[in-house]
Structure 1
Amino acid sequence: MARIDWNPWRKLLALPNESRTKTLVVAFLVSTVCALTVSGATVLLRPIQTANRAAEEQARIEALVRGIPGMAELLEQSGGTLSTVVVDLETGRAAEDVTSDTLPLALADAANWSALDPGDDVAGLGQRPDFAQVFLLREDDEVSLVLLPMTGQGYGGRIDAIMALRGDMNTVAGVAVTNHSETPGLGGRIEEPAWQEGFVGTELRAPTGDMRFAVARGEASTPYEVDGITGATRTGRGFTNMVRFWLGPEGYGPLIRAFQRGEF
């Protein structure tokens, strides 16, 4: 009498290739092996991927800082460490559930935007995001530079910029205009390095704490002003309003107070 082979693997292989059972089992086994291989590779490579993302983020931040007039020299002189944090603008503290990676998804949700009262909306935004990503330069565990993205309405449309403040949160270290729709040769001159360099050293507030920053209608005459651009009064006014809004209570005001209390 023929000996019965109880080995399931050999029994499976003995089936004809046209067998539906053999096809399904082999497909299942192949997919399982592939899934385990991919999962294993993901686990093994995750530390490398994390390190690469961190390096890319650091390089991106450094490139951003170096794009601001005078920031490359400041970065080289300070030898500090750049980092980034997502801030809850309502509290001025680091967001608990939103990170740099999840910020775009969070801002895609209308629930994470706040409507602005017309009297407070000097930048002409209509609404303001509840979270913002800011960049910090630390020296000996102290923040020496803060980069604050901001946006507002100019004469031709939206203006996007990044303002760098020194550790006192009152002295401008630099400005970079990253996007605008102003008239070429007039308001469009806000993108010129020569104009942006005029911000360096400008003070924002008087000793009383009152916001005094402004783009002058002509040449700057106080420590709180930068030169205006001939023929671009409305652009200058829009820039003034943008800065005053974002550095005020509806913008980064709570964050600035947190810095001054030493919470970062």
Structure 2
Amino acid sequence: MAGPDWNPFRRILALPNESRLKTVFVAFLVSVVCAALVSGATVVLRPIQAANRAAEEQARIAALVNGIPGMAQLLEQSGGALSTVVIDLEKGRAAQDVTPANLEAALSDPDNWTQLEPGQDIAGLGQRPDFVQIYLLRDTDKVSLALLPLSGQGYGGRIDAILALRGDMNTFAGLAVTQHSETPGLGGRIEEASWQAGFPGTELRDDSGELRFRVARGPSSGVHEVDGITGATRTGRGVTQMVRFWLGPDGYGPLIAAISRGEF
């Protein structure tokens, strides 16, 4: 005669199907298996998702550059490629030990972020990375185009964009919004090519060097403005503050100064 089965799993599974203990055990077992499968899928898919995001950003960069008048010829003259460099924002020059390959790992370290004081944080970021990957086009030994990633707070959430700045470091060559959460049909129009077409030729600063760029509340009235979007004043203000922050002293200001002096 067989002795009692001391295996607790087999004893639970041998219980009648209407047993509350068996029901709870099976539900727990299924949830553990599902959680393991979801976690495994997340780990496996993360590199694929990162690669897809990178490919989408590259496509937007290509579209932005190709939409700039005369840029195709500049790219052809330079070999058709933008150089990529990671910038130390505080120093305004290329980072010493951070490269595009290890940038993500570097930014996982909280020490590589700068907390922004309320008076500084006009873009609503809270904190700013110390290192940013940018894209440059050179004409002989001078920078003729700089593509600078931007981010800030809009009406519905975070706005990400890439600003193309001409070699004088004062004139927009273009702007591409890469991500936003603004209201469709209102602030969401910032992703439309017709609105972004107002940026080329817009100037950031006046003759005294003061940063004057802004999104107007209506039609633009000068070289430092782009047209506002009807019913989306807060989105326009968010774009204004985003550009002013990143082109100011706590963003790309030191880099822009270095390029203007011919030191980059």
Distance 2:107 2:164 in 1: 23
Alignment of 1:2-17 (within 5 A): none
Structure 1 SS opposite 2:151: strand
Distance 2:253 2:175 in 1: 18
Distance 1:173 1:65 in 2: 12
Q: Deviations over 1:104-157 (max 9, x none)?
A: 000111110000010010000000000000100112222110000010000000
Match for residue 72 of structure 2 among 59, 76, 86: 76
- Residue 232 (1) aligns with residue 228 (2): no
- Which residue pairs with 1:208 in the alignment? 208
- Which residue pairs with 1:260 in the alignment? 260
- Which residue pairs with 1:196 in the alignment? 196
- Which residue pairs with 1:65 in the alignment? 61
Distance 2:68 2:169 in 1: 20
- Which residue pairs with 2:107 in the alignment? 107
Q: What is the identity, as a one-letter code, of the residue corresponding to 1:185?
A: G
Uncovered stretches (5+) of structure 1, i.e. residues with no partner? 1-58
Shift of 1:77: 1.5
Shift of 1:82: 1.3
Structure 2 SS opposite 1:229: coil
Q: Is the 8 A contact 1:65 1:72 kept in 2?
A: no
TM-score w.r.t. the length of structure 1 is 0.75
Judged with a 3 Å threshold, the aligned counterparts in structure 2 of structure 1 residues 72 and 210 are, in CA distance, closer, same or farther, namely closer
Shift of 1:71: 3.5
Distance 2:69 2:61 in 1: 10
Q: What is the identity, as a one-letter code, of the residue corresponding to 2:190?
A: I
Cα-Cα RMSD: 1.6
Judged with a 3 Å threshold, the aligned counterparts in structure 2 of structure 1 residues 69 and 218 are, in CA distance, closer, same or farther, namely farther
Distance 2:86 2:258 in 1: 14
Structure 2 SS opposite 1:66: helix
Structure 1 SS opposite 2:170: coil
Bigger Cα Rg: 1
Structure 2 SS opposite 1:76: helix
Q: How many pairs does the alignment contain?
A: 206
Distance 1:206 1:90 in 2: 24
Structure 2 SS opposite 1:219: coil
Q: Is the 8 A contact 1:65 1:71 kept in 2?
A: no
- Which residue pairs with 1:131 in the alignment? 131
Shift of 1:70: 5.1
- Which residue pairs with 1:86 in the alignment? 86
Q: Is the 8 A contact 2:60 2:178 kept in 1?
A: no
Q: Is the 8 A contact 1:218 1:227 kept in 2?
A: yes
Structure 2 SS opposite 1:234: helix
Shift of 1:186: 0.1
TM-score w.r.t. the length of structure 2 is 0.75
Uncovered stretches (5+) of structure 2, i.e. residues with no partner? 1-54
Shift of 1:67: 1.7
Distance 1:95 1:235 in 2: 33
Q: What is the identity, as a one-letter code, of the residue corresponding to 2:71?
A: L
Structure 1 SS opposite 2:82: strand
Shift of 1:60: 8.6
Structure 2 SS opposite 1:162: strand
Q: Is the 8 A contact 1:66 1:72 kept in 2?
A: no
Distance 2:111 2:73 in 1: 42
Q: Deviations over 1:192-247 (max 9, x none)?
A: 00000100100000010000000000000010000000000000000000000000
